Amino acid sequence: MEGAAHPFEFSGLISKDGKMRAVFNLIEKVASTNSPVLIIGETGSGKELVARAIHERSFRASAPFIAINCAVLSETLLESELFGHEKGAYTGAVSRKHGLFEVADKGTIFLDEIGDMPQKVQAKLLRALENRSFRRVGGTRDVKVDVRLLSASAMDLAAAIDTRTFRKDLYYRLSTVVIEIPPLRDRRDDIPVLVEFFLKRLERAAGGRRVRITSSAVDAMCSFHWPGNVRELEHVIERSYVLSEGDVIDVLDLPERLREVNKVASADALVPLEEIERRYIVRVLKETGGNRTRAARILGIDRKTLYRKVRMGQIDPADAAQGQNTT
């Protein structure tokens, strides 16, 4: 295509899309500053890669980059992980523990899924950002640190503020600069580029086993909606590479969800992509009897992302489950 951009690699991020080039330019601008950066994007879109790119281009690059997912720990454990604790602070605290803020001193700490951070820890984080110090759990003295904070969220933090599950004052502290990563479905020209990149990486890891992919298989991937974004695409390529027979990946080597959605997209070419995605989610919920955990696993997304898509698509999981035995 005339004027089409060439693929560009930027700290592990691969793209030829103009929207991603804008993201790369913003990374370059903010890297040399100390400003907090909030990275917004769907699950699997590359938020941690963006955070690492900022760190690697900053004057803190030789210091630690520490990442933690706020959604996977309880309130007590998350507070202890971030800020450490003193001996005897709670049952099981048999010795002093240095938290990640201390470990990341002079470097960068990346808080992923910060929208899931409990309110108590939000308050302590806000104080640490304002004072550049904190107290270990059970401690009585302030610990000074020099840390740059990067954070990320797949949820709508504005909605979380409205429901009072996320502090507005903390949001303002975190969002001095906001970088929004477009979902893969909004930059489909990147799909063939990423497919080739992942295949070459697998070839190197497998000692040189070369596998090519047919144009039909690439077209099927370009028609898919990719709820799990680049991470899901990477997993699909790895699966297809491992399971393919011979040296060619064709449409039949792709997971069923890609083949089925491709058929629907071909039959309903004029139907909006959001409606195709909604129909597919309904079908998977029917097949799993409304079991969201299994449905999310089949779709290649986490449960929270599925809940959000069910809510936004006005899908009634009970109706979907009732229809599981219908033809």
112 CB-near residues (< 8 Å, 6+ apart):
47, 48, 67, 68, 69, 70, 71, 151, 152
Q: What is the pLDDT of residue 102?
A: 92
Per-residue pLDDT tens digits for 81-113: 999 888 877 777 778 888 899 999 999 999 999
Give residue 306's pLDDT band: very low, low, confident or very high (50, 70, 90).
Answer: confident
Looking at the domain 8-182, which fold is it? Rossmann fold (3.40.50)
Instruction: Please tell me the pTM assigned to this model.
Output: 0.77
Per-residue pLDDT tens digits for 116-146: 999 999 999 999 999 999 888 888 888 999 9
Q: What is the pLDDT of residue 324?
A: 44
**Residue 182 contacts residue 17 (beta carbons within 8 Å):** yes
Give residue 175's pLDDT band: very low, low, confident or very high (50, 70, 90).
Answer: very high
Closest C-alpha among 269, 276, 258, 270 to residue 313: 276
Does residue 40 register a pLDDT over 50?
yes
Does residue 39 register a pLDDT over 90?
yes
Tokens representing residue 192 in the block: 């063939």
- Indicate the range of 132-146, 180-194, 213-227, 312-326 predicted with least confidence: 312-326
- Three-class SS of the chain: CCCCCCCEEECCEEECCHHHHHHHHHHHHHHCCCCCEEEECCCCCCHHHHHHHHHHCCCCCCCCEEEEECCCCCHHHHHHHHHCECCCCCCCCCCCECCHHHHCCCCEEEEECHHHCCHHHHHHHHHHHHHCEECCECCCCCEECCCEEEEEECCCHHHHHHCCCCCHHHHHHHCCEEEECCCHHHCCCHHHHHHHHHHHHHHHHCCCCCCEECHHHHHHHHHCCCCCHHHHHHHHHHHHHHHCCCCEECHHHCCHHHHHHHHHHHHCCCCCHHHHHHHHHHHHHHHCCCCHHHHHHHHCCCHHHHHHHHHHCCCCHHHHHHHHHCC
* Long-range contacts of 100-103, Cβ-Cβ distance < 8 Å, separation of 24 or more: 100/66, 100/68, 101/128, 101/134, 101/143, 101/145, 101/147, 102/143, 102/145, 103/64, 103/66
Looking at the domain 185-325, which fold is it? Helicase, Ruva Protein; domain 3 (1.10.8)
Give residue 293's pLDDT band: very low, low, confident or very high (50, 70, 90).
Answer: confident
Q: What is the pLDDT of residue 325?
A: 40
The percent of residues in the chain predicted with pLDDT above 90, rounded, is 49
User: Domain extents for the chain?
Assistant: 8-182, 185-325
Does residue 285 register a pLDDT over 90?
no
Give residue 27's pLDDT band: very low, low, confident or very high (50, 70, 90).
Answer: very high
Q: What is the pLDDT of residue 214?
A: 92
